[in-house]
């Protein structure tokens, strides 16, 4: 089948670094995206990995390893506003397939 | 540039009543998705359009749900009749092509069926 797995919850403190992992089983897969969603809001795009390796965008970085069917989102210098749900989504030739999301709580 | 626009933002209806949601995607985006999202869950695909063609509607409950995308631009999603279990947020998203790197989402319609 086609599925993505990620932890349901992660807790961290302000200023810390947190990594949210995503493992997947998708056929015809050609990229992994990450989205952020605050309570009551719409998902917003964070990053996309089409190739193996690390993509850095400010405080957020995303990594993909196709051979391991694995990726992660790395959030540095955590801020309270980073408290949200984070979704990995795999793209194949027909559609975006979403993980169930990771709820990140950033505490003072 | 305007983003994906959805209306209404909120809707409360009684069960067995019909309801419709509207979506205006970003100009030039050929691919349009309708998702349903329950609290604490990820978006669940209902239907995907490529221009005016519904290319993936395998998850759409066709006994009560219908959708259309006239002229490959705006889209409507309809539920008739609504059931209590249909209460959720209905999200519309558009992307330039299915291989695009970024899907843009509207703010969603929060449906409550009572």
- Listed by number, the residues of chain B in 34-73 with a beta carbon closer than 8 Å to a beta carbon of chain A are 40-45, 48, 55-56
The separation between the first and the last C-alpha atoms of chain A, rounded to the nearest angstrom, is 40
Interchain proximity A43–B105, CB inside 8 Å: yes
Q: Can you tell me which residue has the tokens 């609290």? A: B39
**CA-based torsion, A61, A66, A67, A70: positive or negative:** positive
Averaged pLDDT, A71-98: 90
pLDDT > 60? residue B52: yes
Own/partner contacts of A43-46, CB < 8 Å, gap of 24 or more, are: A43/A87, A43/B43, A43/B91, A43/B93, A43/B103, A43/B105, A44/B105, A45/B101, A45/B102, A45/B103, A45/B104, A46/A73, A46/A86
Q: 3-state class of A12 per DSSP?
A: strand
Split at pLDDT 50, 70, 90, the class of B38 is very high
Structure confidence at residue B41 (pLDDT): 86
Q: Can you tell me which residue has the tokens 């409550």? A: B112
Interchain proximity A31–B101, CB inside 8 Å: yes
Q: 3-state class of A80 per DSSP?
A: helix
């Amino acid at each position: 089948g086609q599925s993505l797995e990620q932890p349901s919850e992660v807790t961290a403190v302000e200023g810390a670094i947190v990594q949210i992992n995503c493992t997947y089983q998708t056929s015809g897969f050609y990229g992994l995206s990450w989205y952020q969603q605050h309570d009551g809001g719409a998902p917003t795009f964070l990053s996309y990995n089409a190739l193996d390796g690390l993509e850095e965008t400010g405080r957020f970085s995303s990594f993909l390893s196709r051979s391991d069917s694995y990726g992660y989102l790395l959030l540095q210098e955590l801020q309270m506003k980073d408290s949200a749900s984070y979704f990995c989504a795999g793209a194949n030739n027909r559609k975006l397939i979403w993980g169930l999301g990771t709820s990140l709580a950033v505490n003072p | 540039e305007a983003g994906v626009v959805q209306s209404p933002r909120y809707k409360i209806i009684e069960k067995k009543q019909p309801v419709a949601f509207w979506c205006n995607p970003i100009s030039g985006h050929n691919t349009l998705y309708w998702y349903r999202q329950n609290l604490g869950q990820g978006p669940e695909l209902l239907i995907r359009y490529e221009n005016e063609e519904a290319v993936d509607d395998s998850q759409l409950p066709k006994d009560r749900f219908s959708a259309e995308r006239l002229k490959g631009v705006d889209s409507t999603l309809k539920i008739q009749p609504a059931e209590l279990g249909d209460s959720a947020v209905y999200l519309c998203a558009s992307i330039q092509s299915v291989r695009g790197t970024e899907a843009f989402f509207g703010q969603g319609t929060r449906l409550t069926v009572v």
